[in-house]
Amino acid sequence: MKRLFVAVKIHPDDQFKEIYVELRKKLILDKIKWIEPQNLHLTLKFLGKTPTEDIKRIDSVLKEVAARHSIFGMSMQNSGIFGSRYDPRVIWLGTDNNQDLTALGEDVLNSLDEAGFERDRQNFVPHLTLGRIKQLTNKKYFQDVISQYHETFFQKQVVEQFYLFESILQPSGPVYKVLKSYDLKQ
C-alpha cells in the first residue's frame, strides 16, 4: 500500500517566499505546522492508502486526462482559514477564478471516479495548504493577521504538468515522492 495523491506542484518565487516568511514570523508564537516551501502543492485528488497494483490503472487514467488539457496560467491569492473563526484548523491560499484549473481538477476527480476511485463528496475547491493549526495563543491577533493577507497576491505560475505523488509519513513531517508526471498539451 502507498499513500497517494494527485497534485500540481507549486514553485514559490521570491515574492511568494517573502510573504510566506513574513506571515510565519507574525504567527511565531502560535503552534502551526507549516508546509515547507518545497512541499507546497495544490491537491487535485487525495487517493489515500492505495494498493500498489492500482498505480498502473491510475497512471493510465491520468495520462488520458493530461492529453485533454492545455498548459495554463494561474494566480495564487486570497488567503483564508478552514474551520470556524473560533476553531480554525488550516491556513490556505486560494487561486484566481481559474476555469482551466477547475476543469482539470474536475476531470481528474470524474475520470478516477469512473475508474473505481470514489470521488470526494465535496466540490473541487482549488487551494494550497500553508499550515495546519495546532494551538493559537491569541485568536483575535491570529484573525487580524490572517485578514491582512486575505486579498494578497502571492504569485503567478504556469501549470505545465501535474503529478502522482506518494506521501511518506515521517516523524519530522511528510516526504512527497513523485511517482509519475503528466505533461499538459502545448
**At residue 36, what are phi and psi to the nearest 5 degrees?**
-70, 145
pLDDT at 84: 87
Q: What is the pLDDT of residue 134?
A: 95
pLDDT (tens, 9 = 90+) of the chain, 186 residues, equals 999 999 999 999 999 999 999 999 999 999 999 999 889 999 999 999 999 999 999 999 999 999 999 999 999 998 999 998 889 999 999 998 889 999 999 999 999 999 999 998 777 889 999 999 999 999 999 999 999 999 899 999 999 999 999 999 888 778 899 999 999 998
Say how many C-beta atoms besides its own lie within 10 A of residue 118's C-beta. 9
Residue tagged active-site, from 11, 69, 127, 150: 127
Please report, for the chain, how many H helices and E strands are present, in that order.
4, 9
**Is residue 35 within 8 Å of 83, Cβ to Cβ?**
no
Instruction: Give the model's pLDDT for residue 184.
Output: 98
Note if 127 is an active site residue.
Answer: yes
Model-level pTM? 0.91
Going from the N-terminus, what domains does the chain have, and what CATH number goes with each?
2-183 (3.90.1140.10)
Please confirm, yes or no, whether 41 is among the known catalytic residues: yes
Residue 80 to residues 84, 128, 141, 146, 151: CA-CA distances in angstroms? 11, 11, 14, 7, 9
Please report the pLDDT score of residue 169 as a whole number: 87
Q: Say what the pLDDT of residue 69 is.
A: 98
